């Protein structure tokens, strides 16, 4: 199904759109939404909470807060939780539904325990040759008054100059659609082409403005590290990429602000652990990995600050 501004997908009613999102407080608990190792991608949404941004305690005894039910493989990888716009707006989540396909998952919630019916959004159905849709995220573009939903895709016949540089014939770029109501969407387009196979894009806001963090997925020679570029807006233009600020063989960057610094966390997936670094200017990074205590088996996810009353409700466990 081709998505465009007049195409309706699903029966979700239009959500209220206000001038700004209710701002999170700096001392609000930090929620970590993730999936687990083993069969975790089929089990669904896992949650953990932290008061200081470094020590995370598992919620619900490790049970799933939302089992996946849609998409080509009915998986839930890379869950990304974010707040809608306006004080009464619901929470949203998007996720990877399959290793190969043209959809991403979407659902909404008021309390992060009870969820709307899940939808498989066919964001790349209109792009012939699409192989996959990985690690979707979303960001509010205040100037354009719309959400930008973005992810990584390999499209056959596109970007032939880097064909064969990632595993299993993948050759990714960041793609995106825009929406104001999560019912109608723009056509998919390329968001970011750094000249190499790129995955796991995430935006970070700091005192120096908006930045895009990405993973170089080049296998030969192995890079597999994170780099950052400034962003004039969620759809660019983007500045020059920095030198890598992480070791190789990491993925799944996610960020938050702690004590005036932006902290970027990443999944050291081959070693079953996590790393993190803090920065004030996105140029100089300070390793803070030793402070981390993450749930056992936690994989690529997202961070968001939530009201303490909401965190207390989640402590009850899944609905």
- The residue range of the domain holding 128 is 30-314
Q: Does residue 120 carry a pLDDT above 80?
A: yes
Query: Between these two residues, 155 and 88, which has the higher pLDDT value?
Result: 155
Judge whether 12 lies within some domain: no
Judge whether 82 lies within some domain: yes
Q: Which of 31-45, 207-221, 231-245 is the most confident on average?
A: 231-245
CB environment 216-229: b (16+ within 10 A), e (fewer): bbbeeeebbbbbbb
Give the CB-side neighbour count of residue 217, counting CA atoms within 13 A.
28
Bridge partners (DSSP) of residue 55 are 293
Judge whether 20 lies within some domain: no
pLDDT in tens, 13-47: 333 232 234 456 778 999 999 999 888 899 999 99
Give the whole-angstrom CA distance, residue 278 versus residue 315. 29
What's the whole-number mean pLDDT along residues 205-231?
94
pLDDT in tens, 54-67: 999 999 999 999 99
What average pLDDT does the structure give for the chain? 92
- The pLDDT assigned to 38 comes to 82
Judge whether 266 lies within some domain: yes
Judge whether 117 lies within some domain: yes
Judge whether 240 lies within some domain: yes
Judge whether 7 lies within some domain: no
Total structural domains within the chain: 1
Q: Indicate which CATH number applies to the domain containing 52.
A: 2.115.10.20
What's the whole-number mean pLDDT along residues 227-252?
98
Judge whether 16 lies within some domain: no
Cα–Cα distances in Å, from 203 out to 43, 74, 164, 235, 238? 27, 27, 27, 11, 12
pTM of this structure:
0.92
């Amino acid at each position: 199904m081709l998505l465009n501004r007049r195409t309706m997908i699903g029966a979700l009613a239009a959500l209220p759109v206000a001038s700004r999102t209710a701002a999170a407080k700096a001392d609000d608990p930090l929620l970590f939404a993730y999936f687990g190792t083993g069969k975790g991608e089929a089990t669904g949404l896992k949650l953990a909470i932290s008061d200081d941004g470094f020590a995370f305690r598992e919620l619900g005894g490790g049970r799933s807060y939302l089992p996946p039910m849609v998409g080509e493989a009915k998986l839930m990888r890379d869950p990304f939780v974010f707040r809608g716009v306006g004080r009464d707006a619901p929470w949203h989540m998007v996720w990877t539904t399959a290793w190969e396909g043209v959809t991403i998952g979407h659902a909404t919630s008021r309390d992060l325990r009870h969820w709307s019916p899940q939808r498989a959004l066919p964001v790349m159905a209109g792009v012939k040759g699409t192989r996959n849709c990985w690690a979707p995220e979303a960001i509010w573009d205040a100037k354009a008054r719309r959400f930008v939903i973005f992810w990584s895709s390999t499209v056959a016949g596109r970007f032939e100059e880097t064909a064969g540089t990632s595993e299993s014939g993948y050759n990714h770029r960041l793609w995106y659609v825009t929406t104001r109501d999560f019912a109608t969407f723009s056509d998919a387009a390329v968001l970011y082409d750094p000249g190499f196979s790129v995955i796991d894009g995430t935006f970070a806001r700091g005192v120096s403005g908006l930045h895009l963090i990405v993973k170089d997925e080049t296998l030969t020679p192995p890079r597999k590290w994170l780099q950052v570029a400034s962003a004039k807006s969620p759809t660019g233009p983007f500045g020059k990429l920095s030198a890598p600020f992480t070791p190789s063989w990491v993925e799944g960057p996610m960020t938050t602000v702690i004590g005036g610094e932006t902290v970027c966390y990443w999944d050291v997936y081959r070693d079953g652990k996590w790393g993190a670094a803090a920065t004030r200017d996105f140029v100089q990074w300070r390793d803070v990995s030793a402070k981390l205590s993450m749930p056992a088996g936690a994989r690529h996810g997202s961070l968001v600050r939530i009201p303490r009353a909401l965190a207390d409700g989640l402590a009850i466990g899944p609905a």
